[in-house]
Structure 1
């Protein structure tokens, strides 16, 4: 019996100078968490792996501190993926973007 696979993509910029992009196939019914495991990214990024472990069972999305989404919509790690979905991983902000723009405008 063959498992039906769907194609998805993953995008992540772990730093301002580094970007990861990957297209993979996952079994239909896979969650965001399962796709991150299959991608190997949790092994490459300890901080992301730790965050995923802490939030794996969360049903509600904390809009401020949430780190994953699909097509710019924050989703729980249990979100069931559809064909052609793009998982996006958001890194925490260390500088408020509004303050950064104000400082740049003042120069």
Structure 2
């Protein structure tokens, strides 16, 4: 009798930081063969934060930007990136000035 392999769900985490020091995370069990876009849809984070994939959303896995058709793997951390509001160099200067006082 042949042994049938069960399709095991892929466990991933989807994260978005809507503001500094705030992170909204969702853990998901996705079917094998799921793509990054599937994980975003299943997480509900886009709707919860008023984001739309067609607006040129920047996403990645473990800090590396990836296209939406990238397959997800077990234990991936999928991240939704938001645009910078302040130039990082300028922010560093401001923190230094504040700390110097």
TM range (shorter): 0.7 to 0.9
Matched residue pairs, number?
93
Find 1:90's aligned residue among 81, 87, 93: 81
Q: Which moved more, 1:2-11 or 1:68-77?
A: 2-11
Find 1:106's aligned residue among 87, 90, 97: 97
Gaps of 5+ in 1: 56-65
Pairs within 5 Å for 1:60-99: 67-99=58-90
Pairs within 5 Å for 1:1-107: 3-46=7-50, 48-49=51-52, 52-55=53-56, 67-107=58-98
**Residue 36 of structure 1, CA deviation:** 0.7
Gaps of 5+ in 2: 1-5
For the pair shown, the structure with the greater C-alpha radius of gyration is: 2
1:77/1:8 Cα in 2 relative to 1: closer, same or farther (>3 Å)? same
**Residue 42 of structure 1, CA deviation:** 2.0
Structure 1 stretches (4+) deviating beyond 4 angstroms?
Answer: none
CA RMSD of aligned residues (A): 1.7
**Residue 53 of structure 1, CA deviation:** 1.6
The normalised TM-score by structure 1 is: 0.76
The normalised TM-score by structure 2 is: 0.81
